[in-house]
Structure 1
Amino acid sequence: MNKPPVWFYVVATAALLWNLAGCVAFVADLQLRPEDIAKLPDAQQMLYRERPLWAIAATGIAVVGGALGCLGLLLRKRWATGLLIASLLGVLAQDVGLFIMLENLKAANPVAPLLQGAVLLVAIGLVPLAGWAGARGWTR
């Protein structure tokens, strides 16, 4: 097995931190109580009331799959690819849920679509990185 270059570890570590931040945000979101939601602006309250369960599950798959996949990259494990693909599929499903409610999302937080675009770009980039690592013998 070939040793990956330093940049591979830098990218995988940054991506792991990115996905761990997503995990923290996801857990914090799940812990919101009805009285916490009631303190939010009306547009954000509507987003919480109307979001489908499958979109919440997709977010969990996206962040947990991404974090475990990045950990797999750092451990040089080939199974990282499958987890990063699952993460990308979770992001895509999450985006479907978000864009169904896009007008409400923009009203609640105009930066949210931009952040979600960054999430999608990172998830897209990690899949070929994992494949590339496997093709070069950096993962086993």
Structure 2
Amino acid sequence: MNDETVARVHWSFWAISAFALIWNVLGSLNYLSQMNPDLVASLPETHRAIIEGRPAWATGGFAIAVFGGALGGLLLLLRKSVAIYLFIASLLGTIVTMIHTVAIASSTIDFSILEIVIMILMPLLVVAFLIWYSKLTESKGWIS
């Protein structure tokens, strides 16, 4: 990268990179808040069922998804192409977490369509977009 490349980065790069970081920091805060038993007790039954019944492998996937994504967002802002690999790790962590969430969703707990979209589809779509976008920015020379 040289000074000319810095000037050619579109403003949307900064907006999307900031979104990536904020989205994943919020996910990281969500993960950390789920370690507080009092807070978990105050959640709706459907959310408590997911958190309280989550096995260690799904919790590990959740941690990889959100902390990997947060680091990926930070590195994307710093214009480092290693962000791509962290977003891929985040996708894999998200998929692992969703295996458990879908298993719970198909059990006796009745999830609304909105809950399914927010808890399952949205995280998958966001991380898939971030992988695609970070690869696009690498091909444009915006990150290296």
Superposition TM-score, scaled by structure 1 size: 0.85
CA deviation string 1:47-101 (max 9, x = no partner):
3342211111111111111111011110001111110110011111111111111
Return structure 1 stretches of 4+ with deviation > 4 angstroms: 36-45
The 3-state SS of whatever aligns with 1:101 is helix
Deviation at 1:44, TM superposition (A): 4.7
Match of 2:15 in 1: 10
Match of 1:70 in 2: 73
Structure 2 matches for 1:55-66, cutoff 5 A? Answer: 55-66=58-69
Match of 1:98 in 2: 101
CA distance in 2, matches of 1:39, 1:120: 26
Read off the aligned partner of 2:68 and give its amino acid letter.
G
Question: Gapped runs of 5+ residues in structure 2?
Answer: none
Read off the aligned partner of 2:21 and give its amino acid letter.
L
How many corresponding residue pairs?
Answer: 137
CA distance in 2, matches of 1:121, 1:105: 26
Identity within the alignment, %:
31
Aligned 8 A contact 2:79 2:142 in 1: yes
Match of 1:137 in 2: 141
Aligned 8 A contact 2:50 2:101 in 1: no
Read off the aligned partner of 1:59 and give its amino acid letter.
F
CA distance in 2, matches of 1:106, 1:134: 43
Question: Gapped runs of 5+ residues in structure 1?
Answer: none
Structure 2 matches for 1:106-121, cutoff 5 A? Answer: 107=110, 110=112, 111-116=114-119, 117-121=121-125
Do the aligned partners of residues 125 and 106 (structure 1) sit closer, same or farther apart at CA in structure 2, a change above 3 Å counting? Answer: farther
Aligned 8 A contact 1:98 1:105 in 2: no
Do the aligned partners of residues 101 and 23 (structure 1) sit closer, same or farther apart at CA in structure 2, a change above 3 Å counting? Answer: same
The 3-state SS of whatever aligns with 1:77 is coil
Match of 1:30 in 2: 35
CA distance in 2, matches of 1:39, 1:61: 25
Match of 2:51 in 1: 48
Superposition TM-score, scaled by structure 2 size: 0.83
Read off the aligned partner of 1:29 and give its amino acid letter.
Q
Tell whether 2:131 aligns with 1:127: yes
Match of 1:81 in 2: 84
Aligned 8 A contact 1:20 1:67 in 2: yes
